[in-house]
Amino acid sequence: MTSSEQIAGKSTGTDTTPEGSDSARYAEHRETTEGPVYTVSGGDWDDVLSDATHDERMVINMGPQHPSTHGVLRLVLEMEGETVTQLRSVIGYLHTGIEKNCEYRTWTQGVTFVTRMDYLAPLSNEMAYCLAVEKLLGIEAPRRAQLLRVLLLEINRIGSHLVYIATGGMELGATTAMTLGFREREEVLHLLEHLTGLRMNHAFIRPGGLAQDMPDDFHEKVTEFCKVMDKRLPLYDKLFTGQPIWRNRLKGVGYLPVDACLALGVTGPVLRSAGLPWDLRKVEPYSCYDEFEFDVPTSTEADCWARYLIRVEEMHQSLRIIRQVLDKLEPGPVMVEDKKIAWPAQLSVSSDGMGNSLEHVRKIMGQSMESLIHHFKLVTEGFSVPPGQVYVPVESPRGELGYHLVSDGGTRPLRVHVREPSFVNLQSMPAMSEGGLVADVIAAVASIDPVMGGVDR
């Protein structure tokens, strides 16, 4: 036992145990007033480095600050020449504690946290969270709210896939892909800002429905957006699909067959690129998705090239769904009628563009003292949710995004746990990359399209 281990054992107040015994497998701990506190060290990293001490191999870090990794992802590569012999993905650099924070907020306030997880698909997080809350409450959002949710989700899906092309292209050196992708994404963000009031992190989907109805001119704005995208999406086929350099960088790279996807829990475009048409909008429809006609694109190539083609086609399918929503929409409420649950959504903005108008405040205060007290308690304390637990998944742009909520009957969640597709899909990185070139690692990461806000949450 080294002197440092003796010091560690003395400072923690624990008995050191001989190596190989059962208790040696676990981290040392010290007792505090709040219970045991464990000290966990990454001892296995020493083993990784000791394996690579001979001349032929080297261990290099790619990230967490690197222009060719998605966000703050760190990849530890063991390499022999330019061939990757071992890969480990290291996460946690963007940890926000969102799941735990939700347990200290009301059920409605939780929406403002979960929308910040996967910040490229905030509405998917809002949708899954609210569907789970509604399942616990035993309620269903009004039909108009359900259709408008689908509209927002598909607009958001297009924006997310555009960022995949933009960032993936940038990492591979195709700066034109970046400028085009972000140009089209601005169209998405402008539209979402017009419809919800914010470009990102909308907190617009609420338990029971939506924060408020769409603006009067939303039909024309959405129709115009569809026309613009119809003109611009074919440009991607001209610039990239038929481009030999783009094709050569992606074709046959990051191979992951369907059995490997199933073993690792991989979902979304990565799974569909391996030939399995698993899309929760089709296999477990939610929010009127079973009423729409759209295709689930698949491929059997199981490589980066197939994932690119699938995401481009998914944008076309999203436009199909958006148009069908516009045709189906009818006037109606966007929030449940139950005043014990419905967040006050009929807002009247004052002349300075901020807050509620005096007329709206007078209306609340003039109804009755009971209604004023109820309004105050609903906003400050929130509503109670019956005890129980649920798991509700939706199809986010990256795969199955599921929320496991536990209620003890109070006004706050007892537990919020998220099955985040970026987190699960990142497990496939070693299988995709080991045995290939380091340049192909970059293409493989881009094809998974992970968002580290969702991974670390």
Per-residue confidence at 14, pLDDT binned at 50, 70, 90?
very low
pLDDT at 241: 86
Per-residue confidence at 16, pLDDT binned at 50, 70, 90?
very low
CB within 8 Å of 86: residues ≥ 6 apart: 48, 77, 78, 430, 434
pLDDT at 170: 86
**Average confidence (pLDDT) over 83-88:** 89
Residue spans per domain, the chain: 1-41, 102-346+368-456
The chain-wide mean pLDDT, for the chain, equals: 83
Tokens of 310: 């699938």
pLDDT at 314: 93
Amino acid at 282: K
pLDDT at 347: 54
Residue 124's closest CA among 380, 439, 316, 401? Answer: 401
**Average confidence (pLDDT) over 212-216:** 87
Per-residue confidence at 244, pLDDT binned at 50, 70, 90?
confident
Cβ atoms of residues 287 and 150 within 8 Å: yes
Helix axes 143-171, 218-236, angle to 10 degrees: 30
pLDDT at 213: 86
Dump pLDDT digits (tens) for 154-178: 999 999 999 999 988 888 888 888 8
Dump pLDDT digits (tens) for 327-366: 998 898 888 888 778 776 555 555 555 556 667 667 766 7
Amino acid at 82: E
Homologous superfamily, domain 102-346+368-456: Cytochrome-c3 Hydrogenase, chain B (1.10.645.10)
- The pTM of the full predicted model, rounded to 2 decimals, is 0.83
Dist. CA 422–CA 164, nearest whole Å: 13
3-state SS record for the chain: CCHHHHHHHHHHCCCCCCCCCHHHHCCEEEEECCEEEEECCCCHHHHHHHHCCCCCEEEEEECCCCCCCCCCCEEEEEEECCEEEEEEEECCCCCCCHHHHHCCCCCCCHHHHHCCCCCCCHHHHHHHHHHHHHHHHCCCCCHHHHHHHHHHHHHHHHHHHHHHHHHHHHHCCCHHHHHHHHHHHHHHHHHHHHHHCCCCCCCCEECCEECCCCCCCHHHHHHHHHHHHHHHHHHHHHHHHCCHHHHHHHCCCCCCCHHHHHHHCCCCHHHHCCCCCCCHHHHCCCCCHHHCCCCCCCCCCCCHHHHHHHHHHHHHHHHHHHHHHHHHCCCCCCECCCCCCCCCCCCCECCCCCCECHHHHHHHHHHCHHHHHHHHHHHHCCCCCCCEEEEEEEEECCEEEEEEEEECCCCCCCEEEEECHHHHHHHHHHHHHCCCEHHHHHHHHHHHCCCHHHHHC
Asked if residue 49 has pLDDT above 70, the reply is: no
pLDDT at 354: 56
pLDDT at 357: 62
Per-residue confidence at 306, pLDDT binned at 50, 70, 90?
very high
pLDDT at 44: 61
Residue 301 Cα to chain centre, angstroms:
25
Asked if residue 40 has pLDDT above 80, the reply is: no
pLDDT at 35: 77
pLDDT at 435: 86
Per-residue confidence at 372, pLDDT binned at 50, 70, 90?
confident
Dump pLDDT digits (tens) for 412-454: 999 999 999 999 999 999 898 888 888 888 899 889 988 988 8
Residue 130's closest CA among 405, 443, 437? Answer: 405
pLDDT at 345: 54
Per-residue confidence at 3, pLDDT binned at 50, 70, 90?
very low
